[in-house]
Every structure is written in structure tokens, then in C-alpha cells.
Amino acid sequence: MEVDDDETMKPKNKAEADHPKPIVVILVGAPGSGKSTFCNHVMRLSTRPWLRVCQDTIGDGKAGTKAQCLTISCTSLKDGKSILIDRCNLDKEQRADFVKLKESYQVDVHAIVLDLPAKLCISRSVKRTGHEGNLQGGKAAAVVNRMLQKKELPKLNEGFTRITFCQNENDVQEAINTYATLSSSDVLPSGIFGEKKTDTKVQLGIMKFLKRVDAPSKVTSDKTIRELSIEPTKENHHVNEGKEQSGTCPLDGVPTLAFPSISTADFQFNIEKASDIIVETVEEFVNKIGNGRLVLVDISHGSKILNLVKSKAAIKNIDPAKFFTFVGDITKLCSGGGLHCNVIANAANWRLKPGGGGVNAAIFDAAGPDLDIATKKRAGSLAPGNAITVPLPSRSPLFSNQGVTHVIHVLGPNMNPKRPNCLKDDYNVGCKVLHEAYSSLFENFASIVKTLDKSSDEFSNCDQKVSREDGVSFNEKNKKFKGLYEVGASNKLCSVDGKQNAGNSGKTGGSLIKDWGSWAQALYKIAMQPEKHKNEVIEVSDDVVVLNDIYPKAQKHLLVVARVEGLDRLADVSQDHLPVLRIMHDVGAKWVQTFLKENQSLTFRLGYHSAPSMRQLHLHVISQDFDSKHLKNKKHWNSFNSPFFRDSVDVIQEISEEGRPTLNEDEKFMSMELRCNRCRSAHPNIPRLKSHLLICKSPFPANLLQNGRLLQYAPNEDDTNY
């Protein structure tokens, strides 16, 4: 959720500062979603001049018209005030006239979408008293239902500069914080922030908990509509084709280094000199980091170093898509600011130890003991002007919660007499050391980028690209894979269509160990000896082990691995294996239940790849959002969204009735065009498809809405049978 985005930008010149540009913020939400509360909090806390434009009170405290709202909006913009449009604005037509203010007054127009559960909005509306528009009590429920039937979520192509989606109270509070701390001269970055994955049926609680998502009969559908007065809305699937703006969340798969200002806090290095060195070194390296990005981070919107660096980088004409500044907590850039950074820099101490204060303490605390352990394996100390890369184990909270795969420790010069190795204001030496520190930092990052690019080309088709035999470790022996996790003794490539590990297929079994490369034995080794892989396994029984997919293709992606010798893949399965298949399915369903308690908006499929790239039969438990930086190419998508992926319920049924499962191993499935897993619209590439997935709320196709192939949340039910 992008809310407190650090990439708040200051005016470019004095004239702009003297006459700050106002903004128009259009609230979008049903009655009871909290629009007025949002406005009141922002106006109470903000130093920027705001005016709330509310149609319920526009006529001298009484309800008025849209035209009156537009008139006072125009007047306020002329006076330099920013405005909050407090109306429901639930469809494009209702928003259009306010969006046109963008052109008339040369202002940015933002949308804050309070897309909270309908049940919550109804409950609030019914219970409230003294409402400005007198929408309260029993009549409120019918009004909310009727309005939600016409809900049309805003899109950038309507003319919005920025859209923020809020789906829960935390999202709303973060959005309030963003706008409440926005000074008169601040400008927020453009783009879409927040995720839009809530399913209408899940919101309204009309499905039983962990219910199979079956295609509704006409009777059921009509009954639902009569009782709830809500129908699924039709979505316009047009994808915005504009370029990503500086400061927005990087596209999935773009390597990004977030780094703090080195030595200017505890080590008291002169900020003016430090800003020169940052810009100088960035300019030197910005074209050496491939498709990577550099982001200077500070915790405060009033940061002097950010403002200095930003202005100096602009003078140097440094590409803002390759380098920009960001305000936020470096340990929470993804969850707290929507900025996905796979690498972060730590302003370390020479002992490379946790504690102290500032960034060092924060990063070690956020990463947990795993970072300290991993660091000690790499080095015991660090000299000023140097940096060292430490891959994070996947179990580290920074990895699992923020997507940080590497921490680069870097040590700059010290000008603080209370700290070791003080240079006593010798800035000739200090500037040289600081330049060396940033150079070493960026060189380490460039090495990671090169390795990721190379590994993406060579290993992008694997289910699991890493060996789990020794857990997650840094490969110092094989320079080819420096910066990655170890991939085992063999460098043999894998292929999702099974060609590299071709053995018996179709409806005959008998995979041979020799068919699998060394790296592809990882799941087998975990299944046979889980006690040696305690850090990888999250559940173990006599029949299965469960572990997270280390390169998940969705928000939630687990593997349930069979502990049966000789059961290498789906081709080996016979009726004798039905008990273990049912156990695998039940274990997967249990984990789905756990995930849905955390996030009720998710939908899951359980299934197998017809021709897996790793040995040992494993069931994929995967959410259908496919929101992951690891989903990068057509084979990744089609391996889960074509006949190549066999649903667990179908496999069990086929084996029960025919003795063998059907395998769809043909390579043609991997080269199929990219189609949305909901509306089946076609898309030319993965970025376009991902953009579409964020806004698509169409029902799943009929073939998935049958036989319990999909699992969703529904409250107040204990029935978890399948």
C-alpha cells in the first residue's frame, strides 16, 4: 500500500514556492466508508490550506447541488486552496466534472478510493445519528446497496494524476497520514497506489468459509441479488499505457537499491559536502547498474540531505527513473510506502554488529537474528570506504514481509569525536573515503543486478531455482552465481515443460533419478530428510512436508511435498497413491484456511504441473492474484493458467475412476498467449497483464467455477469438507 510515499517532491523554484500549486482530492466511496472523517482528519492535522466541499452541507448547511460544489471548488482553487471533494463519486460520470478542473486550473487531481467492505459501510450508516445528509437508520442499508450496484472504480485514463485504494482501516489511516503531512510546497508522485483485489462476494460474506467456488445456478444468483441488492460490476479492461512516474513503485522485477545518507547522522559528516558526493557517485554509476534503480531514503519529509540531493541531481540531469529520493522507513518501504526494493543498504558500524542507533539498529531489528548470523559468516569487521553484500535468508522478516533479498553493509568516514576513527574535520580524506563508500556500495549492487539478469535468462523456467540442501547460503565458490543462493552442484538448466528432465510421461510412470539434475533433487532431499531442513520446512508429517515456494508466483504460494519414495511426479501416480493425494489436498486446504483468516480477499487453486521441473511429487497451493515480482514471463504464467496445470480435485477424480491422471505436457501450452485468468482478455506482455489483473473483478470462467477447483473465504461456517 503506497501511502506515506517518500517521493514527496519540493518546488523547483522560488516562484513555485511562493505560489504553491493546490491539488484536488476526490473522495470515492459508499455512504459509511469514512469520507467525511477522512477530510476532517486531514484538515485538522495539515499545514496546507484545505477546503472540504460536501454536497450535504453546501447550501448554507443544507444539502445542495453538484453545480454548487463545482462553483465553490473553482473559487477555492483561484484562492490557492486545495480541495477535498466529499461526495460518493462512485461512477465515472459523477467524477468527470471535478476531474476537468485539472485542465482549467493546471492542478493535480487525486482520487482516494475508500473501497471498504459493504457490510461495514452499511453497519456504520445504519448506526449513525445526526448525519449531515440524514442518511441513517433503516433506510441507509437500501441506499448503500443501491449505490454500490453502480460502483465503477476510477482509472488513470479518466484524467487522474494519482489514485490511492484503501481496503481496510490501516490503509485509510496511512492515506490520512500522507495527506495530513503534505506541506503547501509538497507534490506527491503520480500513479496507482494500493491493491484492488477484494471480491464482492467475499466482502458481503455470502460464501461459507473455505467454500468451493462453484458456478452459481440462476436461482442462487437471483436470490443473492434480491437479498443483497448488489450485482457484480462490469469492469472496463482498458489498461493504462502511460509510463511509470518517478517515485512510484517500481515495476515487478526491477532491481532497486534503497540506501540512506552515509555518515551524515551519527558520524556528523557535513551535509553539503555529502550531497555533492552522493550526486557525483550516482552520476558515475547510474549507467553501470543495468536496469537497476538507486533510491536515497530518509525518514523525514523535512530532510535537508534529500532536498539538496534532489536539486543537485536535477541540475546534473540524472535520469529520475534511475535515481530518485524517497521519504520513509527503510525497513518498511514495501508495506509502508509501496516501494519494492530487493536490496537495502545499512549504514553499519565497523564491527558489523547490531545495536547502536539509527539505521543500523533499525535494519538489524527488522531483519531478526538471521541477518546477524549471515553477516558473521561473511566478515567480522568492515573498514571505512568499503561495503559487503549479505544475502538474507528467506525466513528473515525483511525478506518475507518486505521482499528484501540482500543487505549491503557500508561504512563511511567518521567526523564525530565520540566515535572510533574520527578524522577530526579532515575533509580531504573524509570526502575521498565517502566517495569510496558509495562506489563500493553501488559496485556491490551492480554485481547483484548482473547476476539477477543472468540468472533470469538461465533459470527463469524452473519451479524452484535453488538448492535447499544447505538452506539459503551465499555462494562464494562459484563466481558465476555470486549474489544468488546456491543452486547445487549441477548447472544443468531446467525447463517448465519437462524437456530437460524428460523421462516417462503420459499415463505411464517410472521416473528415474538420473533424469533429474542435482539441483532438481532438492525437494526430494527435503521430503526424505526434513530434520536436516528445519529452517525450510513449515510443516512435517509422516506423509508430507510443507514449505514456501522460494520464488512465489503469487501473494501466497506453498508446496505440499509427498514423502513417498519413487513418487517423483504426476506420471508416477496410480490408485495406490490415492490416500497420499487426498492427504496432500487436505493439508493444502488447511493452509488455505489459515491464509484466508489473514486476507479474506484471496482465492486459491490447488494443483500439479503436468511435467514438473523438480523431482518429488509436489502440490502447488497458490493464490489467484499472481501478484509477485517473480512472475516474469509467459512460461511462468501459463504453467499455472493453462491445461498444463492440473487441479488437485480433478487428479483425484481421474485416478479414482480411471487409475491414472491425464497429463498435458505439450510445449504448446507454454507458448499460449497471455490471457487473464478471470475475464480471459488477451495481453501482449507480462507488465500489461499485471496491470490488468489489478483492476479486473470479473467472475472466474465457468471451467474453474466447477468441481471445487477454487477456494474462497466465507465466514461463520465450520464446513471445510471437499
DSSP of 47-99: SS-EEEEETTTTBTTB---HHHHHHHHHHHHHTT-EEEEES---SHHHHHHHH
Concatenating the DSSP letter of every residue in 613-642 gives SSSS-EEEEEETT---TT--SHHHHHTTSS
Amino acid identity, position 626: F
Dihedral, CA of residue 467, residue 473, residue 478 and residue 481, to nearest 10: 70
CA distances from 522 to 328, 603, 643 (A): 38, 28, 26
| Beta carbons of 602 and 556 less than 8 angstroms apart | yes
Give the sign of the dihedral formed by CA 132, CA 134, CA 137, CA 141: negative
Helices 271-285 & 304-315 angle (0-180, nearest 10):
40
Strand ranges inside 160-308, DSSP E: 162-166, 191-193, 211-212, 256-259, 293-298
Cα separation of 628 and 125, whole Å? 37
* Beta-sheet pairing, 618-623 with 191-193: unpaired
- Integer-rounded Cα Rg, in Å, for the chain is 27
Give the integer Cα–Cα distance in Å for 14 and 199: 47
Nearest to 488 by CA among 506, 474, 505, 468: 468
User: What is the distance between the alpha carbons of residues 260 and 331, in angstroms, rounded to a whole number?
Assistant: 11
Q: Which distant-in-sequence residues (6+ apart) come within 8 Å of 661 by Cβ?
A: 507, 570, 573, 646, 650, 651, 654, 655
The identity of residue 675, as a single letter, is R
The residue assigned the cell 523456467 is 461
User: What's 719's DSSP letter?
Assistant: -
Please report, in angstroms and rounded to a whole number, the separation of the first and last CA atoms in the chain: 34
Catalytic residue among 618, 620, 683, 692: 618
Phi, psi of 30 (to 5 degrees): -70, 160
- 93-112 exposure pattern, b = at least 16 Cβ within 10 A, e = fewer: ebbeebbebbeebebbbbbb
Amino acid at residue number 207: M
Q: How far apart are CA 313 and CA 319, in angstroms?
A: 9
Q: How many CB atoms lie within 10 A of CB 149?
A: 14
Q: Are 323 and 335 in contact (CB under 8 A)?
A: no
Q: Cα dihedral sign for 483, 485, 486, 491?
A: negative
- Residues 59 and 73: their CA atoms lie apart, in Å, by 14
Contact by Cβ (8 Å): 338, 401: no
CA atoms of 26 and 113, how far apart (whole Å): 8
Checking DSSP bridges between strand 50-54 and strand 82-86, what pairing results, if any?
Answer: parallel
**Residue 618 known to be catalytic:** yes
d(CA 395, CA 287): 33
Catalytically annotated residues: 618
